[in-house]
Amino acid sequence: MKQVLLVFLGGGLGSALRYLISKPLNIVLQNFFLGTFLVNIVGCLLIGIILGISTKNNVFSGNTTIFLATGFCGGFTTFSAFAFEKHSLLKNSELLHFSIYTISSVVVGILAVALGIWLSKLGD
């Protein structure tokens, strides 16, 4: 239960920071969500640093890693976890699985958004 609370707290902090960063920057450029883009890239950098330090130097406890990587980075952007998983597949030379997972995640994700929008309009 402690780990769930750590994810909850870290996720809340990450989500709040994502909102504070992306909200003002998303209106800077039309048709390019600069804030979201920057948050996604920074989140990828952060999860790489956190998991790299955690693995290499064993500096962070398991709970700290869960709070920072799963909680904070997960709340800041789920794109960071997605990118880390893809990196792991490439590192293990799993090119087919990398391709299938990446393409299907993006395509099915977009289709799921479209389906959700369509379903929300039923009964109008």
**CA distance linking residue 4 with residue 78, whole number of Å:** 17
In a domain, 8, yes or no: yes
Altogether, the residues listed in the chain come to a count of 124
Structure confidence at residue 55 (pLDDT): 83
In a domain, 44, yes or no: yes
Structure confidence at residue 114 (pLDDT): 87
In a domain, 36, yes or no: yes
Q: How many domains does the chain have?
A: 1
**CA distance linking residue 40 with residue 86, whole number of Å:** 14
In a domain, 119, yes or no: no
In a domain, 116, yes or no: no
Q: Are 109 and 72 in contact (CB under 8 A)?
A: no
In a domain, 7, yes or no: yes
Structure confidence at residue 124 (pLDDT): 65
- What string of DSSP letters covers 62-114? HHHHIIIIIIIIHHH-THHHHHHHHHHHHHTT-HHHHHHHHHHHHHHHHHHHH
State the residue range of the domain holding 8: 2-77
**CA distance linking residue 95 with residue 99, whole number of Å:** 6
Give the residue from 14, 34, 31 showing the smallest Cα distance to 23.
34
In a domain, 20, yes or no: yes
In a domain, 45, yes or no: yes
- State pTM to two decimals: 0.76
- pLDDT 10s digit of each residue in the chain, 124 long? 999 999 999 999 999 999 999 889 888 776 678 888 899 899 999 999 998 888 888 888 999 999 999 999 999 987 888 888 889 889 999 999 999 989 998 999 899 888 988 888 886 6
